[in-house]
Amino acid sequence: MRGKRTLLVAALWLGTIASALAVVHTTQRSRALTAELVEAQKIRDELRFEQERLLLEKGAWSAYSRIEKVARDELNMHVPSPDERVLVPAE
């Protein structure tokens, strides 16, 4: 009887140690994943900021007034006068 009791106590003791080690491992893994999540959220926020900046820049570059200025200044284009206009008949 005493041998069975000693074996039971040893098994419970090993189970408790295994459970404690599992808790430590799970806690460490949870902390690592939380840190990874925080880093991923930081990168997401930086990318959102960059996207908003690029959308604003795209809007500025494609503004009609800027396109007209580039056409006039850099490409030497102008609005045609009435005598320069040619109407092409529709078929």
User: Average pLDDT for consecutive 10-residue bins of the chain (91 residues)?
Assistant: 88 96 97 98 98 92 84 89 88 78
Using CA atoms, how far residue 53 sits from 45, 49, 65, 86, in Å, is: 12, 6, 20, 42
Tell me, yes or no, if the pTM score tops 0.85. Answer: no
Q: Cβ(55)–Cβ(49) under 8 Å?
A: no
Return the pLDDT at 10. Answer: 94
pLDDT value of residue 91: 78
| Residue whose token pair is 């109407």 | 87
Position 63 scores a pLDDT of 84
Single-letter amino acid code for the residue at 51: Q
